[in-house]
Amino acid sequence: MQQFINGLSLGSSYALLGIGVTLVWGVLGILTFAHAQTMTIGAYAALITLDRGYPVIVGVIAGLVVAGLFSGLMDLALFTPLRRKRAPEFAFVIVTIGVSQISDAFEASRTRSQTLPFPRKGFPVEPLTLLGRNVPRLSLVMLVTSVIVMAMLGYWLHRTKSGTAVRAVAYSRDTGELLGINSKWIFASCFFISGTLAALAGIFLAASSGQLSHSSNDAILLLAFAVIVLGGMGSIRGAIVGGLLLGLVSVYATVYVSSVFREAVAMLTILVVLVVRPSGLFGEKATTRV
Amino acid sequence: MFNWLSPLQVFTLDTTMITTVLVVAVHIAFRAGLFNLAPLGFAAIGGYTTALLVTKQHWPTLLGIIAGIIGAAVLAGLFALPVLRLRGIYLALGTVALAQAIVIGISNFDFTNGTLGIDRIPNRVTTLELMILLIVLFVLLELERRSHFGRAAAAVRLDERTASGLGINIRRIRLYSFIISAALAGLAGALEAHRTTVISPEQYGFGVLIPIFVYALVGGDGHWLGPVLVCWAIVVLRQYIDFAGSAWEHYIYGVLLIVMMMLAPSGLTDPKLLRKLRFRKSRRLRLAAERAAADEAAAVAAEVERAARSGGDPVDASTIISQAPSIAAAP
């Protein structure tokens, strides 16, 4: 039972990661390697604000806005011209690798490659005893946050006019434009929202580990991709279920098989799911993947 | 033979030559349209195979390196079946996962000595040997590029359906390109192991791939010489921007990747880019010719008008036109 709770709490951070990627990659189909850097930038912005003595909520909002602007501007400055030129999809991937390279170098030079302590004061970090079990309170908050964000994203994408416009543009940009949708702003706002969600995950992860460095999010980028691949492309609910499942698999595999799996579970998941069931758990069937 | 070079220069030369092999490995995959992000995984296989065989089993170095190549190629053949089913960015994702899985596997097994790596690998690769190897490799590459296989691989990248319609076995081309790419990466990894004498899993992380990637993409997939020359040019450039610190290198790589994708997504050796440059030049020449013809026509018209106004003998327009043959020739 304790293992189950550990798995869920690990999974809740994975789910939050997945939520951040799902909009840009899952819905719009752009594989972005700059996601880890967006998370780090948001966490840095929050850290700077918190160090100035502002309350936690201000710090979180500052992080969200800065990362959102970073992500939205990246879309307007780089992806809009690429889209106009109808560049092949790998061009987007390479541009995001370039962006992550530049911002990583920038952060490393600003912080002199040091790991900074992240203030945990004000975050709900103390453990909670529930039904006689130890439950990390921060994981609970993360789980609740990801479920709320998932519900909001799902409502937005499927029930509102602007969300429907996003899905229309994702399906076919030309058709969307013919229907009078300004695809440029749809893409930019999706990137802005995805940036804020990335920052949310970045801030929570920094608060749970209590430290932050320019490379602290590099390793978990593949985890985020694994969550989306497992949950299924384009499925918001898949991101949550995929994240929780990945956390559970990771914990149980570590306990019953070998600790190797804790690190390798993301890669193995990507490989196995792409080969066996490319559409993931909840994804729609698409022929372009295989 | 290389006594006149300083140790640092010899070091740079060796590193560059080994990197060149890796760049060629990436190029071979790109040429067939495979967005392969796994070469460092295969380089790790090559390096560890020869390191283990030479230090633990006391194999001769040459046999160790050959075993490294074969090991990487066999592993690529095994994983090709699932990985090559994927396309586009999914292939990229699958190969990233594969490379990371290999590195994580190496850092967790006991016989590879985990994250500590292997040291005391005999350093038996000389600069001269590397140079000869590289020349042989270049000759083979050029022969291969001109062969049926090389042309077929380029055709598969440009248009899979047309290539398939022309009777090219796409699966086979993709499979062989993947395996050749992995074998070359294994060779580079094995050479690197014997040059540095120490290897550890973190040497094969994703960040190491980025410079290689820059060379291959900026050079383009039209000709193997493009990536190789770009690699050498950046190595030379790096000697001069040394003073600016290592952060600048990252900035330059990042900016290069972005600018290349914005301006010429298929790299500098892309035949389409060259054609476009040529076309632009010829268009400028044509415009100049048209402007000259228009000037001449205006001059003729002014001449006719002046003659008519002076009331003298009206000049026969046809004689003026015959004096200016370029008007008749102008479209």
More confident residue, B88 or A246: A246
pLDDT one digit per residue (tens) for chain B, 331 residues: 677 788 888 888 999 999 999 999 999 999 898 888 889 999 999 999 999 999 888 889 899 999 999 999 999 999 888 888 887 778 888 888 888 888 888 888 777 777 788 888 888 788 899 999 999 999 999 999 999 999 999 999 888 889 999 999 999 999 999 999 999 999 999 999 998 888 988 888 877 888 888 888 888 888 899 899 999 988 888 777 766 666 777 888 889 889 888 888 777 777 777 777 776 667 777 778 788 888 888 888 887 777 777 765 555 555 555 555 555 454 4
Confidence at residue B114, expressed as pLDDT on a 0 to 100 scale:
77
Which residue in B217, B245, B254 is closest to A102 by CB distance? B254
Relative to beta strand A211-212, strand A133-136 is: unpaired
Shared domain check, B237 and B118: yes
Partners of A128 in beta bridges: A135
Main-chain dihedrals φ then ψ at residue A96, nearest 5 degrees: -65, -35
Contact list in A for residue B26 (CB cut-off 8 A) is none
Confidence at residue B326, expressed as pLDDT on a 0 to 100 scale:
53
CATH code (residue B113): 1.10.3470
Q: Is residue B180 part of a domain?
A: yes
The helix-helix angle for A89-111 and B88-108 (nearest 10°) equals 40
Q: For chain A, positions 240-259, list CB contacts with chain B under 8 A.
A: 258-259
Query: CB contact, 8 Å: A158 with chain B?
Result: no
Count of CB atoms within 10 A of residue B111's CB? 9
Give the span between the Cα atoms of A248 and A139, in whole angstroms. 14
Shared domain check, B99 and B212: yes
Shared domain check, B194 and B140: yes
Q: Is residue B2 part of a domain?
A: no
Q: What percent of chain A has pLDDT over 70?
A: 93
Give the span between the Cα atoms of B175 and B80, in whole angstroms. 7
Q: How many domains does chain B have?
A: 2
Which residue in A31, A94, A260 is closest to B257 by CB distance? A94
Confidence at residue A62, expressed as pLDDT on a 0 to 100 scale:
95
Main-chain dihedrals φ then ψ at residue A115, nearest 5 degrees: -90, 120
Shared domain check, B287 and B243: no
Chain A interface mutation, best of B100, B206, B270, B272, highest count of A Cβ atoms under 10 Å = B100
Give the span between the Cα atoms of B313 and B123, in whole angstroms. 97
Enclosing domain of residue B300: 274-329
Shared domain check, B151 and B108: yes
Residue found by looking up tokens 């804020």 in the block: A196
Which residue in B92, B108, B247 is closest to A260 by CB distance? B108
CB contact under 8 A, A263 and B104: yes
Shared domain check, B304 and B243: no
Q: For chain B, positions 208-227, list CB contacts with chain A under 8 A.
A: 210, 213, 217
Shared domain check, B176 and B282: no
Q: With cut-offs at 50, 70 and 90, classify the pLDDT of residue A290.
A: very low
Give the span between the Cα atoms of A70 and B283, in whole angstroms. 41
Nearest CA in chain B to A104: B250
pLDDT per residue as tens digits for the range A102-139: 998 888 888 887 888 888 777 776 777 776 667 778 88
**Domain extent listing, chain A:** 15-217
Q: Is residue B1 part of a domain?
A: no
Give the span between the Cα atoms of A127 and B12, in whole angstroms. 54
Q: Averaged over A139-166, what is the pLDDT? A: 87
b (16+ CB within 10 A) / e for B113-146:
beeebbeebeeebebeebeebbeebeeebeeebe
pLDDT per residue as tens digits for the range A173-189: 888 889 999 989 999 99
Distance between A216 CA and the closest CA of chain B, angstroms: 14
CA nearest neighbour of B248 among A44, A116, A108: A108
pLDDT at A283 over 70: no
Shared domain check, B300 and B245: no
CB contact under 8 A, A271 and B89: no
CB contact under 8 A, B82 and A275: yes
Nearest CA in chain B to A288: B87
Give the span between the Cα atoms of B107 and B117, in whole angstroms. 8
The helix-helix angle for A137-159 and A183-209 (nearest 10°) equals 170
Final residue before a domain boundary, out of B269, B301, B320 = B269
Shared domain check, B294 and B227: no
Shared domain check, B187 and B301: no
Nearest CA in chain A to B216: A94
Query: CB contact, 8 Å: A31 with chain B?
Result: yes
Chain A interface mutation, best of B34, B104, B206, highest count of A Cβ atoms under 10 Å = B104
- A221: which 2 tokens? 């980028």
Confidence at residue B143, expressed as pLDDT on a 0 to 100 scale:
94
Q: Mention every residue, 6+ apart, whose C-beta is less than 8 A from residue A121.
A: A56
Nearest CA in chain A to B109: A260
CB contact under 8 A, A78 and B217: no
